């Protein structure tokens, strides 16, 4: 254990307190000081949407330990033996003199000496450069103060028409919270889809789910200006004007690196502080952790900026370990993310199909919609999985999940498979636990792996909903063959589809043209796959299977 004496930590929300607590455990005699600009410490920023919606009742719950003790400066002093200077800003770092100048609430300045310094300065929300962005009631959802302002607008000013600018994670979480408070919410997203962490057709499924909860989702739409007298009254977009009593600007966050940059520390290509796997910056006595640092993408080896509370906590522990002389490294991230969107669990890890292609992989995808546990259990819910596999190595590259089923579980399992470098052949054989209340005998992820193996082995030729939709729009001459039951066909069908139930297919082969492409499908495309095998065995040449079937078709459907 090194004889670390004085440690100064700049930032007291997530990574900072973690670094402090761990150092005090490893080196009880160290003098650890947290310098925090704001009033509040160690609060769960990720919980803010649930405080806005009222799911979390009290602000204090977000800054309490699991047994209900509020983490304030007195707690840190008495329980942790950590000195906290809140409402105090670090203004400059004198690296040669190993000291930090701070300014307290009253404007008083002083210098804090350090043996080791830690940047845990986090990230700040981007304020979009849009005319009139500083009108009242245009807010972000980043700190507790933002959440309180939103709650006040809702309760005292009865704000109901809300525009959320930006369809990323925060925008989507804020939307759900506001809808639950009774607001009419429109999301305006500049890109062609919300949730850029997903492939477009998966994002489209999420958009449809949000629309089913009354949210207006305007993708490919640009905000041109805000209008209002003092407070915002409307949002002007390139597709028209939207009334707005409140606007949530959720266009992303930027690492807070001003002080680090001024101190001459290396800043990475992503704009965040560059650190080595021991969380050390370019100055060996200065560490950094949390939302202000750059990570390594475990799959591509490239730098990335993925600010998350989970990563901040792990990095904080690694920084503290190294400061105290324990060797520890943080290897990187997979971009594992999960988000509750009304009744859907939306989650992902690794590379999307789009990202895999951009990175030079030859991706094979498999879509697997199925119940998330034994289908006969009343608690079973649909879960839609998309997995992305490298054709050459057969390794799993990424998984996306959406739907009401337990997607978080499968994404965590997938993250383990990717971390371990598993092929889909290995993934198909893993011993996941099974009982009807929790899983199917063939877990969703194992089924997805097997679908991918069928494709890799040339047993199945898939075609994406995107491509089939394009063929339909182009009026292409092909057979879109639905092999479900007449009852299923009666409920909902795809445009221009032909019904021949799988059980009748062998006896009705002569109804199908041999000179046209055939795209077979069913609800989830298992029967579609079986149909394609029957057709191929019967000599049909151009037979493909619609990836994901009706369950994952994100375009127009006909409900007679």
Considering only residues 340-369, where is the footprint of its own copies by CB under 8 A? 340, 345, 347-349
Question: For its own copies, which is the closer residue by CB, 25 or 516?
Answer: 25
**Neighbour order of strands in the sheet with 497-499:** 462-463, 543-546, 518-521, 479-482, 497-499
Q: Which of 61, 115, 467, 542 binds its own copies (CB under 8 A)?
A: 61
Q: How many C-beta atoms lie closer than 10 Å to residue 296's C-beta?
A: 17
**Contact region with its own copies (CB under 8 A), list: 208-216, 264-272, 327-335, 383-391:** 327-335
What is the CB neighbour count within 10 angstroms for residue 559? 7
Comparing CB distances to its own copies, the nearer of 100 and 411 is 411
| Subset of residues 483 to 522 that bind its own copies, contact rule: CB under 8 A | 484-485, 488, 502-504, 506, 522
Q: How far is the CB of 416 from its own copies (least distance, A)?
A: 3
Place of tokens 């890799």: 456
- Asked if 59 and 51 count as a contact pair (C-beta separation under 8 A), the reply is yes
Task: In whole angstroms, give the CA distance from residue 443 to residue 436.
Answer: 11
Q: Are 428 and 457 in contact (CB under 8 A)?
A: no
**Number of residues engaging its own copies in binding (CB under 8 A):** 107
Which residues in 451-470 contact its own copies (CB under 8 A)? 457, 459
- Asked if 311 and 297 touch (Cβ cutoff 8 Å), the reply is no
- Does residue 287 bind its own copies (CB under 8 A)? no
Binding positions for its own copies, 526-555, rule CB under 8 A = 527, 529-530, 533-534, 537
Using CB under 8 A as the binding rule, the residues of this chain from 125 to 184 that contact its own copies are: 173
Catalytic residue list: 46
495, 506, 372: which is closest to 444 by C-alpha? Answer: 372
**40/234 with CB nearer its own copies:** 40
Q: Does 280 bind its own copies (CB under 8 A)?
A: no
Q: At what angle do helices 200-212 and 169-180 cross, to 10 degrees?
A: 10
Site for its own copies in 371-410 (CB under 8 A): 371, 374-378, 406, 408-409
Segment contacting its own copies by CB under 8 A, of 178-186, 250-258, 339-347, 383-391: 339-347
Please state, in angstroms and rounded to a whole number, the distance separating the CA atoms of residues 120 and 17: 9
Cβ-based nearer residue to its own copies, 1 or 96: 1
Q: Least distance (Å) from its own copies to the CB of residue 419?
A: 6
Binding status of residue 111 toward its own copies by CB under 8 A: no
The b-or-e profile of 125-151 (16+ CB within 10 A means b, else e) is: beebebeebebebbbbbbbbebbebbb
Q: Does 411 bind its own copies (CB under 8 A)?
A: yes
63-82: which residues touch its own copies (CB under 8 A)?
Answer: 64, 66-67, 69, 75, 78-81
Pick between residue 137 and residue 352 the one whose CB is nearest to its own copies: 352
Strands (E), 262-417: 286-288, 295-296, 303-304, 337-341, 344-350, 363-371, 382-390, 396-402
Q: Does 450 bind its own copies (CB under 8 A)?
A: yes
**Which residues inside 290-309 make contact with its own copies, applying CB under 8 A?**
298, 308-309
How far apart (Å, rounded) are the C-alpha atoms in residues 122 and 258?
A: 11
84-120 burial: b if 16+ Cβ within 10 Å, else e:
bbbebbbeebebeebbbebbeeeeeeeebebbbbbbb
Interface with its own copies by CB under 8 A: which range of 146-154, 279-287, 436-444, 471-479? 436-444
């Amino acid at each position: 254990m090194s004889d670390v004496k004085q440690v100064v930590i700049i930032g007291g929300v997530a990574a900072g307190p973690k670094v402090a607590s761990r150092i005090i455990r490893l080196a009880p005699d160290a003098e650890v000081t947290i310098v925090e600009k704001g009033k509040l410490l160690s609060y769960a920023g990720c919980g803010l949407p649930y405080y806005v919606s009222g799911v979390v009742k009290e602000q204090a719950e977000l800054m309490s330990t699991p047994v209900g003790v509020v983490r304030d400066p007195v707690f840190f002093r008495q329980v942790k033996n950590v000195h906290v200077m809140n409402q105090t800003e670090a203004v400059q770092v004198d690296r040669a003199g190993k000291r930090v100048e701070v300014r307290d609430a009253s404007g008083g300045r002083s210098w804090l000496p350090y043996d080791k310094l830690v940047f845990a300065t986090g990230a700040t929300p981007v304020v979009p450069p849009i005319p009139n962005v500083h009108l009242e009631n245009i807010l972000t959802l980043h700190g507790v103060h933002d959440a309180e302002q939103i709650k006040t607008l809702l309760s005292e000013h009865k704000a109901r028409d809300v525009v959320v600018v930006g369809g990323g994670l925060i925008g989507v979480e804020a939307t759900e919270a506001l809808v639950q408070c009774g607001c009419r919410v429109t999301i305006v997203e500049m890109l062609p889809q919300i949730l850029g962490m997903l492939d477009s057709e998966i994002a489209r499924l999420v958009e449809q789910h949000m629309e089913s909860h009354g949210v207006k989702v305007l993708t490919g739409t640009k905000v041109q200006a805000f209008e209002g007298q003092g407070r915002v009254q409307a949002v002007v977009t390139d597709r028209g004007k939207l009334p707005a009593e409140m606007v949530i600007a959720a266009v992303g966050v930027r690492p807070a690196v001003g002080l680090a940059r001024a101190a001459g520390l290396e800043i990475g290509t992503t704009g965040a502080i560059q650190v080595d796997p021991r969380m050390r910056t370019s100055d060996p006595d200065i560490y950094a952790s949390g939302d202000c640092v750059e990570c390594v993408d475990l799959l591509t080896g490239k730098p990335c900026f993925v600010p998350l509370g989970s990563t901040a906590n792990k990095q904080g522990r690694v920084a503290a370990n190294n400061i105290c002389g324990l060797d520890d490294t943080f290897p990187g991230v997979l971009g594992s993310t999960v988000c509750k969107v009304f009744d859907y669990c939306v989650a992902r890890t690794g590379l999307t199909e789009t990202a895999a292609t951009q990175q030079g992989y030859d991706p094979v995808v498999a879509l697997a919609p199925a119940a998330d546990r034994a289908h006969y259990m009343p608690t079973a819910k649909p879960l839609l999985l998309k997995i992305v596999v490298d054709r050459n190595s057969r390794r799993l590259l990424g998984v996306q999940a959406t739907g009401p089923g337990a997607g978080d579980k499968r994404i965590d399992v997938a993250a383990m498979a990717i971390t371990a470098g598993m092929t889909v052949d290995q993934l198909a054989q893993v011993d996941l636990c099974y009982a009807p209340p929790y899983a199917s005998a063939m877990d969703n992820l194992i089924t997805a792996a097997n679908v991918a193996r069928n494709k890799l082995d040339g047993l199945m030729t898939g075609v994406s909903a995107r491509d089939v939709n394009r063929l339909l729009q182009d009026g292409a001459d092909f057979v879109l063959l639905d092999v479900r039951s007449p009852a299923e066909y009666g409920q909902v069908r795809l445009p221009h589809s032909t019904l021949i139930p799988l059980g009748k297919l062998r006896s009705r082969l002569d109804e199908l043209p041999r000179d046209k492409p055939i795209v077979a499908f069913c609800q989830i495309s298992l029967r579609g796959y079986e149909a394609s095998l029957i057709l191929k065995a019967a000599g049909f040449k151009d037979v493909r299977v619609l990836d994901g079937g009706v369950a994952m078709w994100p375009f127009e459907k006909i409900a007679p």
